[in-house]
Amino acid sequence: MMLRNTLAAIFLASCLNLAWAGLESFDFSGNVEEQRYKDLLAELRCLVCQNQSLVDSDAELAHDLRLEVYELMAQGRDDTQIRDFLVARYGEFVLYDPPLKPSTYLLWAGPFVLLALGIIMLFRTIRQRRQLHESEFSAEEQERLRQLLGNNPSEQEDRQ
């Protein structure tokens, strides 16, 4: 039991190590500031390894941009100002959360539009099928069907 706990602790520690391997150690005035720094980096894209955030990326540019973000924070700039600083240089592509504006309407609304279309189509199909079942045959036709299929009403019931 003891051994297992120790192993688990070592494993967890190594995971954490991996996650923060690329991060430089900057001095922060407190935990809050450090968390703010990491949260901010996590929503900024590294332009070299485009599917990584500035927290994850070990690219040279990511190092430089982390330093830049840290220094901007040290100068007392707020998150919006820091984001604007990067957007002014690298474009909105650096933001993992693109702002809502005409060119991004499709991006934001697209999945919901598709979902709505899917639901509409689903309900239409269900309704059509139901109507089909109810009105497919008249009473006489159903009687005739039964006869054709072998005069066995109970078996027909089972099949329905």
Task: Give the residues lining the site for other proteins (CB under 8 A).
Answer: 47-48, 50, 60-61, 64-65, 68, 87-93
Question: CB 14 → other proteins: shortest distance, Å?
Answer: 31
> Quick one: tokens of 158?
């089972």
How far, in Å, CA of 132 to CA of 134, rounded? Answer: 6
Closer residue to other proteins, CB minimum distance, 55 or 86: 86
Question: CB 84 → other proteins: shortest distance, Å?
Answer: 11
Query: Which position has the token pair 């054709």?
Result: 148
Nearest to 77 by CA among 135, 37, 38: 37
Q: Which residues pair with 2 in a beta bridge?
A: none
Closer residue to other proteins, CB minimum distance, 79 or 92: 92
> Quick one: tokens of 17?
């190590």
How far, in Å, CA of 156 to CA of 143, rounded? Answer: 11
Question: CB 90 → other proteins: shortest distance, Å?
Answer: 5
Question: CB 135 → other proteins: shortest distance, Å?
Answer: 14
Question: CB 118 → other proteins: shortest distance, Å?
Answer: 13
Q: Is 38 helix (H, G, I), strand (E, B) or coil?
A: helix
Closer residue to other proteins, CB minimum distance, 5 or 103: 103
Consecutive H or E run containing 18: helix 2-19
Closer residue to other proteins, CB minimum distance, 91 or 153: 91
Q: Measured between alpha carbons, how far is residue 4 from residues 10, 14, 20, 32 in Å?
A: 10, 15, 25, 33
